[in-house]
Amino acid sequence: MSAKRILFSATLCASLLSTTLLAKDSAAAGKTIEYSVAGYTIQAEFLSDKQLRWTYLKAPTPAEVGKTAIETTDNISLRRDLVLAAWTEASGANVVDVFDFGKRKVIANFVMPDGKRYQSVADFKIVKKK
C-alpha cells in the first residue's frame, strides 16, 4: 500500500471518528424509552453518556416487576440518531443494545453467564425527553 493511500485512510478514519462515532449530541442523552422483549416491558433511562438505568415494568414473574439497576455503559453514537450501548450486569450478563431513534427500534443483544445468547428487535416509545 502506498504512503498516500495510508495517509488518506488514516485521515478518513480520524474524520469519521471525530464527526460520527464520537458525536457529542447523542440522540439518547436525557431520554427515557420503553420497549417490550421476551416477556418483559423495560424502561431505559439514559442518565448520562456513561449511565443507563433499566427497570422491569412488566415481567414473566411478579417478583421481577420493579427490578432495576443503574449500569455503567460504553456508548457510541454511530450516527446522530443511532446509539450503541454496552455494559456488563451484576449477574455477569453482557449486553450490547443498538437504539435507532430515527426508526424507534432497539436491537437488544445479551449473553448470559452460562454462554446462552439472545437477540430481540422491538419498537420503542420515548416517554420522556430532557
Look at residue 14 and tell me whether its pLDDT is greater than 50: no
Q: Which helix (H) or strand (E) holds 119?
A: strand 117-128
Give the whole-angstrom CA distance, residue 13 versus residue 76. Answer: 15
Give the whole-angstrom CA distance, residue 26 versus residue 30. Answer: 9
| Mean pLDDT score of the chain | 84
C-alpha cell at 91: 449477574
Reported pTM = 0.78
Question: 25 pLDDT band (50/70/90 cuts)?
Answer: low
Look at residue 50 and tell me whether its pLDDT is greater than 50: yes
C-alpha cell at 77: 453514537
How many other CB atoms are found less than 10 A from the CB of residue 78? 14
How many other CB atoms are found less than 10 A from the CB of residue 83? 25
C-alpha cell at 64: 421481577
